[in-house]
Amino acid sequence: MVGKCRTLALLFTFFICSLCQGQLVPVYSFQQDDTLVKRKYYNDALDKKKQLIAGLQKDNIKDYKQAYEDMFEVVENLLISPRSVTEKTADNYIKEIVAKIINANPELKGLDVRVIFSRDMPPNAYSIGDGTIAFNAGLFVFLDNEAEMAFVICHELAHYYLNHSRKRLDKYVEIANSDSLKKEFKRLSKQEYKVAEQFEKLLKTFVFDIRRHSRDNEEEADRVGMRFLKKTGYSGNGFVTSMRLLDKIDDTALFTTLNLQKILSFPAYPFKERWIKKESVIFGALNPDDATGLTKKERDSLKTHPDCSKRINLLIDSAAAISGKYFQVDEQLFKQLKQEFIPEIVEEVFKSENIGLNLYLSLQMLQDGKNLPLAVYSIARDLNLIYKHQKAHEMGLIIDSENKRYDEGYNLLIRMLYRMRLNEIAELNSNFCSFYQEQMKNYEGFATEMDKAKENVQAHQ
């Protein structure tokens, strides 16, 4: 409910504040994390790390210790950074769903878990292995109901409950320290010919074995997760629809397809078609997968997760037998958080210094008429940053390169940024700022970005 009120207040602000004079308002009110909660999560994770290391046996202790240090680095990077969400409403919401699952499944009681939202864009959820489970906002925004969310959490809890991280680590350490592998390495080190071929073969066997275990673990987590879900009162269909979503997640977008030519064309500075004109490419008919030189069977063997269709088929009957609700905690808040997380994700992309992607998402927000002050401000800020980096010949460090796996609109924007000349970036931003000047005059930071854009134009005159 709090979130709903805030959005209404924001909309009101955007349309009314242009009437106000002198009082600058923020372009967006981002979620306010609770630093105490964040600190507590971090300390809990630190205690768990110490406990894990203290309990290690002498065998291969160096390898295990290193693995736990590496694991904790991932945990630390998440919990100490602005990526983790500890804002009360969102944090309490996910806690409530987790509590519902744990309360319904006595075997999970006493499990030291920290399930948190992260502001990361990749549509993913993962159990790190120390009890920390991250639920990326990039996945949450595509879900349709709590039942789907509950299944994803059940699946990750199952990984932790089944101790999959430790088992995977055991497998790694066992193989890496096995006499047979050491013997094989020793033999290869003495050979002069066909060393690379034999090494590749050995490596494949090792990697394929690990990945096969990983896929087995996923199937086991699905089965056990389904068992957990069954007792929660959520619909088993949450499993089926979340799997179907994952299956087509690469073709799913947060916003409508970007019309770059329209959104970045201004009366005084029209869009230039040469910015996005397609070029001939070498090996244009080549499938990117072929570059690996692996066969289809080998590529399949490298997958960490089984195909979603296979996962659905294995459990579809069990899922159908679970009748339940799609929402139990708060449907309105679920929908509210979906909307709130979008600008949070977009801003997190900016903080992670992927300025090209932040610009793309901000342009899409602007096109869809969502979070307008933030979108306009972000675009001006991004173009100024791109100008600054380009001036120092460092733009390549903050912009992705075109990739067949990206959507067409994003590739076009990347192409455009790499085609535009420095003065054109300045001119475009200056014209963009002038176009939105009236609407943005009461928002913090916009005037500064506009001044920068105009200064950049001046530098070329």
Partner 1 sequence: MKKLLFPVALLFGALSISAQKMTVENVYKASPRNAAAIKEGSEVKGYYFFFISDKIDKKTNEYTLRITDNTLKILKDVKFQDSKHVYILESSFNGTDLIFLFYNDDENTFEYQTYGTDGKKKYTYNRQLTKKEERFLETTYLALDDEEETYKGLYPIEGSGFVSVMPSREDKDYTFQVDFFSTGKRKQWTYTPTEGGKKFVGDYLGYHNGVVYLEVLRFGGAFDQKPDSYILGLSLETGKKLFEKPTDSKFRFYPASLSLVNEGKAYIYGEYFDDGANIMKDKSKGFAFWEIDEKGVIKSEKYLSWDIEMAKYLDVTSKGKIADFGFMYLHQFVQTADGKIYAIGEGFKKSASALGIASALLTRGRGGASVTKAIVTDMMILTFDQDFNIKGAKVYDKNSNKIELPSGYDFMSTPLLGKLLKYYFGGFDYAYTQVNKDMTSFSVCYSDFVKEKGSYKGGTFNSITYADGKFTTDRINTKSDAKFSAIYQNQQGKVLIMDYFKKDKRLEMHVEKLN
- Binding of residue 178 to partner 1 (CB under 8 A): no
Identify which of 147, 156, 95, 96 has the alpha carbon closest to the alpha carbon of residue 125.
156
Among 19, 36, 54, 196, binds partner 1 (CB under 8 A): 196
The nearer residue to partner 1, 125 or 425, going by C-beta atoms, is 425
Q: Half-sphere exposure of residue 175, counting CA atoms within 13 Å on the CB side? A: 15
Among 36, 54, 268, 282, binds partner 1 (CB under 8 A): 282
Q: What is the largest CA-CA distance in the chain?
A: 81
Window 300 to 329, contacts with partner 1 (CB under 8 A): none
Among 5, 9, 203, 397, binds partner 1 (CB under 8 A): 397
What minimum distance in Å lies between the beta carbon of 100 and partner 1? Answer: 40
The nearer residue to partner 1, 176 or 286, going by C-beta atoms, is 286
Q: Half-sphere exposure of residue 11, counting CA atoms within 13 Å on the CB side? A: 8
Give just the sign of the alpha carbon dihedral 171, 176, 179, 184.
Answer: positive
* DSSP secondary structure letters along 343-356: HHHHHHHHHTT-HH
- What backbone phi and psi angles, to 5 degrees, belong to 118? -120, 155
Whole-number Cα distances in Å, 183 to 102, 342, 399: 47, 53, 45
CB under 8 A: which stretch of 164-172, 222-230, 283-291, 297-305 binds partner 1? 283-291
Among 174, 298, 307, 402, binds partner 1 (CB under 8 A): 402
Whole-number Cα distances in Å, 375 to 28, 343, 363, 365: 9, 9, 7, 6
Whole-number Cα distances in Å, 222 to 19, 46, 155, 185, 443: 55, 29, 6, 37, 48
CB under 8 A: which stretch of 49-57, 120-128, 275-283, 297-305 binds partner 1? 275-283
Identify which of 310, 161, 146 has the alpha carbon closest to the alpha carbon of residue 237.
146
- Binding of residue 408 to partner 1 (CB under 8 A): no
Ramachandran assignment for 353, one of left (phi > 0), alpha (psi -120 to 50 degrees), beta (any other): left
The nearer residue to partner 1, 36 or 392, going by C-beta atoms, is 392
Identify which of 81, 83, 95 has the alpha carbon closest to the alpha carbon of residue 344.
83
Among 290, 331, 408, 451, binds partner 1 (CB under 8 A): 290
CB 130 within 8 A of CB 75: yes
Q: Which secondary-structure segment (H or E) carries 230?
A: helix 195-230
Among 106, 109, 179, 193, binds partner 1 (CB under 8 A): 193
Question: What are the structure tokens assigned to 400, written together?
Answer: 């992705």
The nearer residue to partner 1, 2 or 286, going by C-beta atoms, is 286
Residues in binding contact with partner 1, number by CB under 8 A: 38
Would you give the distance in Å from CA 55 to the centre of its chain? 33
Strand partners, 132: 114
Among 112, 394, 407, 408, binds partner 1 (CB under 8 A): 394
What minimum distance in Å lies between the beta carbon of 280 and partner 1? Answer: 6
Three-state secondary structure along 17-55? HHHCCCCCECCCCCCCCCHHHHHHHHHHHHHHHHHHHHC
CB under 8 A: which stretch of 16-24, 166-174, 187-195, 254-262 binds partner 1? 187-195
Contact characters 224-263, partner 1, x per CB under 8 A: ----------------------------------------
What minimum distance in Å lies between the beta carbon of 424 and partner 1? Answer: 8
- Binding of residue 391 to partner 1 (CB under 8 A): yes
The nearer residue to partner 1, 24 or 294, going by C-beta atoms, is 294
Contact characters 413-432, partner 1, x per CB under 8 A: -----xx-xxx---------
Size of the chain, expressed as the number of residues it contains? 461
Among 189, 285, 317, 461, binds partner 1 (CB under 8 A): 285
CB under 8 A: which stretch of 155-163, 322-330, 366-374, 387-395 binds partner 1? 387-395
What minimum distance in Å lies between the beta carbon of 86 and partner 1? Answer: 29
Among 2, 5, 107, 396, binds partner 1 (CB under 8 A): 396
Residue 189 to residue 169: CA distance in whole angstroms = 26
Terminal CA-CA length for the chain? 52
CB under 8 A: which stretch of 151-159, 242-250, 278-286, 444-452 binds partner 1? 278-286
- Binding of residue 291 to partner 1 (CB under 8 A): yes
Identify which of 250, 8, 23, 2 has the alpha carbon closest to the alpha carbon of residue 122.
250
Among 194, 212, 299, 351, binds partner 1 (CB under 8 A): 194
Among 276, 400, 441, 444, binds partner 1 (CB under 8 A): 400
- Binding of residue 438 to partner 1 (CB under 8 A): no
Residues at the interface with partner 1 (CB under 8 A): 192-197, 274, 277, 279-286, 290-291, 293, 390-391, 393-403, 418-419, 421-423, 460
